[in-house]
């Protein structure tokens, strides 16, 4: 039997165990909210299994691809077995159901087998048009982003305008804007897959001043496309596509992070529009942005939860990353306080305080019919934002892997290059395997989303790859030894940048329990 067929049998065993966990969780009193540890483990196991299926498809493409797929699947099954130890009854599963995969796992987790795979990343198998896009954004990241990345990180500086302008010239801000509104989106596969490819390469350059630049307009764009009036689309989409308008997102609040339905920032009817009062936090890029996508409560009856929320486009003047205070003629005020972070610098995150800030009536997304639909509209943007975050994680992982491989090739310890040691080679091989498998899953999810589904898979991709990015960047830093802890090496930046990935765009725990586990049990 071919190795990839053996891998398929191993994945089938994993699928059986995951299904048992889902069924047990679905039948448990209180479900995922009460049995949170089980829900979390099942969600991540399901995400790993879904990624393994993408790896299997990749493994059908050639001998090297099969080796990569087998190594990934073996790790997935081993991780699942570890989750079952001491909790098999909680899962409602029998560990022996993984026994048919034991020989396969032993063979493909063998240290020397992994060490022999070192240096083989495998082809990406992109179609020519996407390969051309990848090369274009990679060159931009290498020539325009990387030269500024360390300076911005160490000094917590603003993103250079040359990067913003250059990305606008490349069309990076218009990839999700329909062609009829000045963008490049055609409604096909290229809209989503192209975004994944571009985001990975820009994040390879820098997460803080590259990959995240095109995420915020993407979120607002999709909300407008799905719920905006024709007048609103004509007003904002062309300017977003050209980069003339830069956007930020104001959803999270100090007391309400992932629990979006409970937000308290209120928009009250006033002459000419709505008066906004409240505080938002973790508003990335809020100073430099020209518009904010604001989610606010327009129905004072809080018992309505998410049904009382509406979405607004808030115009503002651009400012720098040191904080700002904006005043309106009618007495409204918007204050922005930067929140310093250990990584992910350049974009800057802010706490925003709205005091009687007037938003014109025509800025309510969807017009009068958009009142109360804000939660649903912002989720349309965030669903693809999760896929984009997976792509950002891929870029950071790829950069860390390349840095680790280069350093291991150059650095000698005890008389020979670090790269010649089995442990180093096995680590680098696993890093490359994880990156390629998760990349192929991201491609697969992009195709699903282009076909009108795949929201659950996007959440799975985000959950799995962001955790993987923490491991990959940690090991890349470890391979550098003491120099990995020195700021003069970029790998230290990759490590602190990767840590934010499991926090934003849906905190890992909330994403696993409230989104992935809940949707899995609903369909059980």
Quick check: 290 and 246 in contact, CB under 8 A? yes
Active site residue 410: no
What is the sign of the dihedral through the CA atoms of 422, 428, 434 and 440? negative
What's the Cα-to-Cα distance from 493 to each of 71, 158, 404, 499, rounded to whole Å?
28, 16, 13, 10
344 in the Ramachandran plot: left (φ > 0), alpha (ψ -120 to 50) or beta?
left
Structure tokens at 275: 């008066």
Length of the chain as a residue count: 524
The Cα 481–Cα 7 span in angstroms is 35
Q: Are 173 and 146 in contact (CB under 8 A)?
A: no
Active-site residue among 65, 121, 351, 505?
A: 505
For residue 186, give both structure tokens: 């055609």
Phi-psi region of 92 (alpha: psi -120 to 50; beta: other; left: phi over 0): left
HSE-up of residue 515 (Cα within 13 Å, Cβ side): 27
- Closest to 336 measured CA to CA, from 285, 371, 397: 285
Token pair listed for 517: 């586990």
Q: What is the C-alpha to C-alpha distance for residues 385 and 488, in angstroms, rounded to an integer?
A: 31
Which residues on adjacent β-strands are paired with residue 292?
Answer: 248, 314
The secondary structure of 147-172 as a DSSP string is HHHHHHHHHTPPPPHHHHHHHHHHTG
Neighbours of 33 (CB within 10 A): 11
What is the widest separation between alpha-carbon atoms in the chain? 77
Catalytically active residues, by annotation: 505
């Amino acid at each position: 039997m071919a190795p990839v067929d053996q891998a398929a049998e191993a994945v089938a065993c994993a699928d059986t165990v995951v299904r048992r966990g889902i069924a047990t969780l679905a039948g448990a009193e209180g479900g995922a909210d009460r049995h949170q540890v089980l829900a979390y483990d099942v969600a991540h196991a399901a995400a790993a299994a879904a990624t393994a299926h993408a790896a299997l498809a990749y493994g059908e493409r050639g001998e090297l691809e099969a080796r990569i797929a087998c190594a990934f699947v073996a790790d997935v099954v081993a991780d699942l077995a570890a989750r079952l130890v001491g909790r098999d009854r909680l899962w409602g599963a029998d560990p022996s159901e993984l026994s048919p995969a034991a020989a396969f796992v032993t063979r493909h987790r063998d240290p020397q087998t992994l060490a022999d795979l070192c240096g083989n990343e495998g082809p990406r198998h992109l179609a020519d048009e996407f390969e051309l896009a990848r090369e274009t954004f990679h060159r931009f990241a290498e020539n325009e982003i990387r030269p500024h990345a360390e300076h911005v990180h160490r000094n917590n500086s603003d993103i250079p305008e040359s990067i913003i302008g250059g990305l606008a010239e490349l069309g990076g801000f218009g990839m999700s804007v329909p062609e009829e509104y000045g963008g490049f989106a055609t409604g096909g596969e290229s809209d989503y897959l192209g975004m994944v490819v571009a985001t990975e390469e820009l994040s390879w350059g820098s997460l803080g001043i590259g990959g995240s630049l095109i995420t915020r307009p993407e979120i607002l764009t999709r909300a407008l496309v799905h719920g905006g009036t024709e007048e609103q689309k004509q007003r904002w989409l062309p300017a977003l596509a050209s980069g003339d308008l830069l956007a930020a997102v104001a959803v999270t609040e100090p007391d309400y992070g992932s629990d979006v339905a409970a937000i308290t920032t209120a928009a009250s009817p006033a002459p000419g529009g709505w008066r906004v009062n409240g505080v938002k936090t973790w508003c990335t890029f809020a100073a430099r942005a020209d518009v904010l996508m604001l989610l606010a409560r327009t129905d004072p009856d809080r018992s309505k939860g998410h049904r009382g929320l509406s979405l607004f486009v808030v115009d503002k003047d651009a400012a720098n990353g040191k904080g700002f205070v904006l005043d309106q003629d009618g007495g409204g005020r918007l204050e922005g306080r930067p929140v310093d972070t250990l990584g992910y610098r350049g974009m800057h995150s802010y706490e925003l305080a709205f005091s009687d800030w007037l938003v014109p009536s025509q800025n309510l997304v969807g017009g009068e019919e958009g009142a109360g639909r804000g939660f649903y509209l912002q989720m349309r943007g965030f669903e693809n934002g999760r896929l984009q975050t997976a792509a950002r994680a891929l870029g950071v992982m790829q950069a860390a892997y390349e840095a680790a491989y280069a350093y291991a090739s150059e650095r000698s310890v005890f008389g020979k290059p670090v790269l010649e040691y089995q442990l180093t080679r096995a680590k680098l091989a696993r890093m490359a395997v994880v990156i390629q498998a998760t990349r192929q899953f991201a491609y697969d999810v992009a195709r699903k989303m282009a076909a009108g589904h795949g929201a659950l898979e996007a959440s799975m991709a985000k959950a799995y790859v962001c955790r993987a990015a923490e491991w990959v960047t940690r090991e890349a830093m470890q391979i550098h030894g003491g120099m990995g802890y020195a700021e003069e090496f970029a790998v230290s930046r990759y490590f602190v940048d990767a840590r934010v990935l499991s926090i934003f765009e849906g905190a890992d725990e909330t994403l696993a329990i409230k989104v992935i586990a809940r949707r899995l049990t609903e369909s059980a």
